[in-house]
């Protein structure tokens, strides 16, 4: 079943629970009008309105059903993520395998992630461009552990194409301009969904494949997100083609809908939120020594219609 994504941003709202139903009650409306959603149907809750309140029992019920809760800050970008503790029956075994993973294995897994990211980036530049040809070559040059930092080389090629069309655009994780803000929001949505899939798979999100930072509780999510970033990039590109440049509810909904977009993995198609669990499952098999390759999403949205020069050119108009 496809889990629902709920965003609270339009008005001040109180979240509570009744009979395993999440009650969404706007402050200025009678209690009888509260909207209810079964907690078992919810996969992600994004809380953006600053006057939103919620009961402890509501958060408890969402965690019990495996939902992730994202809290946004004043800039409307996610500031924190709440994830459930996994009750996976093999969690101890999987955590031991994750902790004891060999360096050669981790380096091979990182190579696969970087190569997949570059192939996806290629779909976001004009198919007939020198950048597309260069990215195709770079995707085949990624070595174990990406020791030659091909990822950074590809990033320079990829974002230079955006700068050429957007003018002074510079990719900045802390940027407040409309493009960077939307990219950051899209990445955060994917990161939260990945965190949920990782915990559900009996792994710990802080134990990364490549990313290692004592202050980062989501290193593994930051590893697995790499091949998915171009999906958020494409969504932002679509918005700018339509001259939709503000972080309003409609545009955020377009970014949130990534989680229900079609993706293909291991010959099977399904919503991205479901497919993320397949990727995590393949990672578990790799950590347990049962296989050597990850099942990574082939994003049909990117594959069906690669960018053209006209598309990206329109973004800068």
Q: What is the DSSP pairing of strand 68-72 with strand 262-265?
A: unpaired
Would you kindly state where each structural domain of the chain is located, as residue ranges? 4-82, 91-315
Taking CA atoms, 154 is separated from 54, 137, 268, 274, in Å, by 44, 10, 29, 29
Parallel/antiparallel/unpaired status of strands 78-82 and 68-72:
antiparallel
pTM: 0.84
pLDDT at 311: 39
Residue 277 to residues 203, 214, 227, 295: CA-CA distances in angstroms?
12, 25, 15, 10
Nearest to 115 by CA among 253, 309, 294: 294
CA-CA distances (angstroms) from residue 45 to 27, 34, 185, 201, 202? 18, 17, 14, 20, 21
pLDDT attached to residue 315: 32
Segment-wise mean pLDDT, segments of 10 residues, the chain, 317 residues: 86 93 90 89 93 95 92 85 77 92 97 96 90 95 97 94 74 83 93 92 93 86 96 91 86 92 86 93 96 84 44 33
Phi, psi of 144 (to 5 degrees): -55, 125
- Nearest Cα to 48, choosing from 70, 22, 25? 70
- The pair of structure tokens assigned to 152 is 């950074």
E strands, the chain, in order: 4-8, 13-18, 21-26, 35-38, 42-47, 53-54, 68-72, 78-82, 262-265, 268-271, 298-299
Residues 45, 189: Cα–Cα separation, whole Å: 10
The whole-number pLDDT of residue 86 equals 65
CATH of domain 91-315: 1.20.120.920
Which pLDDT score, from 0 to 100, does residue 153 have? Answer: 97
Class level of CATH domain 4-82: alpha beta
The DSSP letter of residue 247 is: -
Report the alpha-carbon distance of residue 141 to residue 312 in Å, rounded.
Answer: 26
The reported pLDDT for the residue numbered 87 is 64
d(CA 161, CA 151): 16
* pLDDT at residue 171, rounded to an integer: 84
């Amino acid at each position: 079943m496809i889990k629902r994504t709920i965003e609270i941003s339009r008005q001040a709202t109180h979240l509570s629970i009744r009979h395993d139903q999440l009650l969404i009650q706007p402050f200025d409306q009678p209690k009888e009008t509260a909207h209810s959603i079964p907690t078992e149907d919810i996969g992600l809750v994004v809380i953006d309105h600053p006057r939103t309140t919620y009961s402890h029992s509501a958060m408890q019920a969402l965690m019990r059903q495996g939902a992730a809760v994202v809290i946004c800050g004043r800039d409307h970008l996610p500031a924190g993520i709440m994830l459930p503790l996994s009750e996976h029956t093999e969690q101890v075994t999987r955590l031991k395998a994750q902790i004891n993973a060999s360096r050669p294995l981790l380096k091979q897994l990182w190579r696969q992630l970087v190569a997949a990211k570059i192939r996806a980036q290629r779909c976001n530049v004009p198919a007939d461009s020198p950048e597309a040809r260069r990215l195709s070559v770079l995707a085949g040059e990624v070595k174990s552990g990406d020791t030659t930092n091909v990822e950074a080389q590809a990033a320079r090629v990829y974002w230079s194409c955006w700068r050429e069309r957007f003018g002074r655009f510079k990719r900045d994780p802390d940027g407040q301009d409309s493009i960077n803000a939307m990219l950051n929001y899209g990445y955060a949505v994917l990161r939260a969904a990945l965190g949920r899939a990782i915990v559900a798979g009996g792994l710990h999100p802080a134990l990364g494949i490549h990313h290692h930072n004592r202050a980062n509780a989501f290193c593994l999510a930051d590893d697995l997100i790499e091949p998915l970033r171009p999906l958020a990039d494409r969504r932002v590109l679509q918005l700018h083609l339509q001259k939709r440049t503000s972080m309003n509810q409609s545009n955020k909904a377009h970014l949130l809908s990534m989680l229900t977009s079609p993706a293909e993995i291991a010959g099977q198609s399904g919503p991205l939120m479901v497919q993320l669990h397949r990727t995590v499952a393949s990672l578990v098999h790799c950590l347990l020594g049962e296989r050597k390759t990850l099942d990574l999403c082939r994003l049909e949205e990117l594959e069906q219609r690669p960018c053209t020069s006209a598309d990206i050119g329109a973004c800068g108009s």
